[in-house]
Amino acid sequence: MDDDIPFFPSLGRYNPIGCKRGAGGCACPPGCPGRKVAMSNPSMTKFIGSDDGPSTKDLAMAASSVFFSFLVTLYCTMIFYEHVAEKNFGHFAYVGYISMLLHTAGAISKMKIGGTEDIFSDLRILTDYATQVLVIPSLTTELWMKKEVAPFEVAVLPVSLGCLAFIFFIAMEYKRRDITDLVVLLNLIFMVLANLNGEGALLFSLGAYIIFASAYVCTKRHCGDNVKLDDIFNAAVSTVLLITLIDFEPASFTPAPINWLLGEG
């Protein structure tokens, strides 16, 4: 099935676009669809089989994207912890924040030199999928509970669906794009319902979800594993976290370290 994307390439089975790894790139027969994709995409070909290190320009762009995503996500996590959750860890939103923090922190391992073995590729694949199916659902559940859109038993539905998709991914070792699509689409619908039925409009979050869905379609839906597109998606997700933070209505947008420097904390 074309939407089934094999999991864990570095374990010697398959790479993310469905081709057997080989020293010269795709090792599948010439008729393999994955080979056609790999050969038509230079960046993907280099990812699959080349030992050439990234260029200085690519490294600089990747580093900028990774640090932007990490710092924005860290900022959002700190503001939520201090001024929304009031230093209470019992909130579903942390699932999304921590998933994105782990992914952006692990993304620096992509910037390896030459033919150094990439020992973090499997972990990065896990956290990458977590950003697709856990970040938005956890925020949806948190916003539903904050705006009293539905009782707790119903509000946990979005994050439960995301967790089921993630567990299926681990257990079956496949990325089922139809399941991922369903999670993204349902959460977009859930946010529309929140704007219709909640105690207050969540227009910022609705706009952020549209950004997330667009980024997912453009960079993840049919693009295999492309480092540059991954960086774009990560930047988009961290931007989504920043925008949705507005609807959480934090008491302040200044994190504690800044307050300490200003002598206010």
**Residue 78, helix vs strand vs coil:** helix
> Does domain 55-262 fall into CATH 1.10.3470?
no
Q: Report CA dihedral (8, 9, 13, 18) to the nearest 10 degrees.
A: 100
* Spatial contact of 104 and 70, defined as CB atoms under 8 Å apart: yes
Residue 215 banded pLDDT, cuts 50, 70, 90: very high
With a pLDDT cut of 90, the percent of the chain lying above it is: 44
Question: Per-residue pLDDT averaged across 233-260, rounded?
Answer: 85
* Spatial contact of 209 and 44, defined as CB atoms under 8 Å apart: no
Average pLDDT of the residues of the chain: 76
Q: What is the pLDDT of residue 111?
A: 61
**Region(s) of the chain under CATH 1.20.1070:** 55-262
Higher pLDDT, 22 or 133: 133
Q: What is the pLDDT of residue 177?
A: 87
Residue 81 has pLDDT above 90, yes or no: yes
Give the integer Cα–Cα distance in Å for 230 and 224: 10
Residue-wise pLDDT tens digits, 171-193: 987 778 889 999 999 999 999 88
Residue 14 has pLDDT above 60, yes or no: no
Most confident of 196-210, 230-244, 250-264: 230-244
* Strand partners of residue 174: 6
Q: What is the pLDDT of residue 174?
A: 76
Residue 165 has pLDDT above 70, yes or no: yes
The β-bridge relationship of strands 4-6 and 174-176 is antiparallel
**Angle 69-70-75 from CA coordinates, rounded to 5°:** 100
Backbone phi, then psi, for 52, in 5-degree steps?
-65, 135
Q: Report CA dihedral (115, 121, 122, 126) to the nearest 10 degrees.
A: -170
Q: What is the pLDDT of residue 129?
A: 93
User: Of the candidates 240, 194, 234, which has an alpha carbon nearest to the alpha carbon of residue 76?
Assistant: 240
Task: Please provide the distance, in angstroms rounded to a whole number, between the alpha carbons at the two ends of the chain.
Answer: 56
